[in-house]
Amino acid sequence: MDIVDEVGRTVAANLRAARAHRGWRLDDLAEASGVSRGMIHRIEAARTHPSVATLAKLSAALGVPISELVEIPAQLGAPAPRAGARVSRFGRSTAALLYSDGRQELWTHTLRPGHPIHDTGHPPGTRELLHVTEGTLEVDVGGAVFTVPAGDGLMVRGDRPHSYRNPAGDQGPDAFYTVVMLYAEAPDPRFPVHRRAPSGRPEVPGNAGTS
């Protein structure tokens, strides 16, 4: 598929989605935009490539910017495969950075009993949203301790010293949880931007820090 066909299919899908979001029929959009029903149908079927003027009329009627109608899939999402994660090790526990763009990060953790993860804190204003998928997690943030069972979530101040611990006994099950890190201003310089999966599984020392 060449770039022209790709853009045409993208506009078709995005226009259908924008119209459906408003609950409009083809006739409704035609009336609101001044673009004929037949033309809209051909655009949504990727059988014609609309002019900039036509896109402007459609976007104005739908209340969305033109850029939203021409966003290609690569701009709408960014896969973050586990195979390409940057992995930090803390004893037998691991923290895997799947995605980072300088504003937010996505981590997955495996926490083994007796192998806690500690961090001295991230830049001011940082917040962490975590969700426990298996096991139980104890989170200590500045001396306040939260117990989070499987299925529950927690928001914590990531700019304070904090630690994660698996309270199960030595033979207890591992805990698995996901953390989304949200930076208020500057990102943590310890964690480089990591949008795409590199080859292999690079690892960084445990003292490099984690969420």
Q: What does each C-alpha distance from 104 to 84, 121, 130, 195 come to in angstroms?
A: 17, 15, 13, 11
Instruction: Spell out a b/e string for 103-134, using b for 16 or more CB atoms within 10 Å of the CB, else e.
Output: eebbbbbbbbbebbbebebbeeebbbebbbee
Domain boundary among 75, 108, 138: 75
DSSP category for residue 16: H
3-state helix, strand, coil in the chain (%, to 5): 30, 30, 40
Overall number of domains in the chain: 2
For residues 116-139, average pLDDT: 96
Q: What pLDDT shows up at residue 88? A: 93
Q: Residues 160, 193: one domain?
A: yes
Residue 186: which domain range?
Answer: 82-208
Is residue 198 pLDDT above 60, yes or no?
A: no
Joined tokens for residue 50: 């609309």
Shared-domain flag, residues 203 and 100: yes
Average pLDDT over residues 21-43: 95
125 shares a domain with 52: no
Indicate which CATH number applies to the domain containing 32. 1.10.260.40
Residues 6 or more apart in contact with residue 107 via CB below 8 angstroms: 95, 96, 97, 98, 178, 179, 180, 181, 210, 211
In this structure, the chain runs to a length of 211
pTM metric for this prediction? 0.62
Q: How far apart are CA 156 and CA 128, in angstroms?
A: 5
Q: What is the pLDDT of residues 66-114, one digit of tens each?
A: 988 988 766 567 788 888 899 999 999 999 999 988 889 999 999 999 9
Query: End of a domain among 75, 103, 124?
Result: 75
